[in-house]
Amino acid sequence: MSTRVRDLPTPALIVDADLLAANIATMAAALPGARLRPHVKAHKCTSLARLQATAGHHSFTCATIRECEGMAAAGLGQDLLLGNEVLDARRLGALADQGARVTLAVDSDATIEAAAAGGVREVLIDVNVGLPRCGCAPDDAGRLAGLARSRGLAVRGVMGYEGHVVGLEDAAERERQCRASMELLLAAHADVGGELVSAGGTGTYAINTWANELQAGSYALMDVAYGRLGLPFHQAVFVLATVISASPEWAVADAGLKTMGMDRGKPELDGAPVWFCSDEHTSFKPPRAVGEQVRLVPGHVDPTLAYHERVYLVSEDEVVDMWPVDLRGW
């Protein structure tokens, strides 16, 4: 393509190809190969996952069955972990039948029975390490592993997501709580066995030295929330918008809350939160001229990507590629 960023129809999701490459290289140096199991939920894009594979990571984490299916269809199904519970695993069994390697998180008798009934071959025991979400009680992990094995499932180890820790802005507190969570996970692992101790996210990638694989995803593109943590990753994704209306006091750009995840707060423009977002508008001060382009930094990357059909790769002022966001839906 020889399109210039200036000529893109807006709103558009753009990714700075150079900053993305830098982020991927930084992470691959810190956590090479299988030490990182990139989480595709942050980008939902097989083209981006392929860059992560080129950087040496061939095992991936998914949050939905659709993400597993899309990764397998893209030839990236060498070692997929669905790090989430499901009660109907038949689509995952079908993927395994077709040659993908799919490991499923289980945390209860019901999810183990569903895995076995659906034709899944391999599981991880999902352990609650402090985030009030999924995961069994740590002292129940060994029993569940035994149940899974009795159903013919191979148990590859444990996972435990310290999601209550990854976003803590106080680095010392983040490290202290990460250790506490991982001590729970390692105790469970002693009862479960298997080669995998899977945990972590972008906020703990450098301090979680207990897990033997990290599930970070946001590092590739980043967002306002992760930007506060002082990590060595660059903001690489932006919502490109055009100023369509301006008053003496404010301006309005043509990208609103249907282009961005809002659960962690408003997007930023030039380092400061915007005034407010409506469905298809963002109002901000001080104003700029009608016709100017602006680049909004989303508050939360994962639900931002999920709104977009495609992302434009840009390098300086040029559009260098267009990637479908092909892992959306369920």
Backbone region of residue 321 per phi and psi (left: phi > 0; alpha: psi in -120 to 50; beta: other values): beta
Q: Which of residues 198-257 bind its own copies (CB under 8 A)?
A: 242, 244-247, 249-250, 252, 254, 257
Does the CA dihedral 212-213-218-220 come out positive or negative? Answer: positive
8 phi and psi, to 5 degrees? -70, 140
Q: What is the dihedral of CA 53, 58, 64, 69, to 10 degrees?
A: 80
* Closest separation in Å from C-beta 270 to its own copies: 19
**Burial readout 45-63 (b: 16 or more C-beta within 10 A, e: otherwise):** bbbbbebbbebebebbbbb
130 near its own copies, judged by CB under 8 A:
no
> CA-to-CA distance for 237 and 25, rounded, in angstroms?
16
**Burial readout 158-168 (b: 16 or more C-beta within 10 A, e: otherwise):** bbbbbbebbbb
* Closest separation in Å from C-beta 257 to its own copies: 5
**Segment interacting with its own copies (CB under 8 A) among 22-30, 46-54, 85-93, 207-215:** 85-93
128 near its own copies, judged by CB under 8 A:
yes
322 near its own copies, judged by CB under 8 A:
no
> Of the two residues 28 and 106, which places its CB atom closer to its own copies in the complex?
106
303 near its own copies, judged by CB under 8 A:
yes
State which H helix or E strand residue 184 sits in. helix 171-192
- Tokens standing for 1? 């393509």
**Segment interacting with its own copies (CB under 8 A) among 30-38, 142-150, 179-187, 278-286:** 278-286
Token match 């820790």: residue? 165
> Of the two residues 28 and 204, which places its CB atom closer to its own copies in the complex?
204
> CA-to-CA distance for 295 and 316, rounded, in angstroms?
13
Token match 């996210």: residue? 201
> Of the two residues 28 and 219, which places its CB atom closer to its own copies in the complex?
219
> Of the two residues 191 and 254, which places its CB atom closer to its own copies in the complex?
254
**Segment interacting with its own copies (CB under 8 A) among 48-56, 174-182, 220-228, 260-268:** 260-268
Residue from 234, 281, 320, 324 binding its own copies (CB under 8 A): 281
Does the CA dihedral 297-217-209-232 come out positive or negative? Answer: negative
> CA-to-CA distance for 314 and 305, rounded, in angstroms?
16
286 near its own copies, judged by CB under 8 A:
no
- The answer to whether the beta carbons of residues 309 and 326 sit under 8 Å apart is no
297 near its own copies, judged by CB under 8 A:
no
**How many residues line the site for its own copies (CB under 8 A)?**
54
* Closest separation in Å from C-beta 132 to its own copies: 5
283 near its own copies, judged by CB under 8 A:
yes
Contacts to its own copies by CB under 8 A = 9-12, 41, 63-64, 84-88, 107-108, 110-111, 128, 132-135, 137, 163, 242, 244-247, 249-250, 252, 254, 257-258, 261-263, 275, 277-281, 283, 290-291, 302-303, 306-307, 309, 328-330
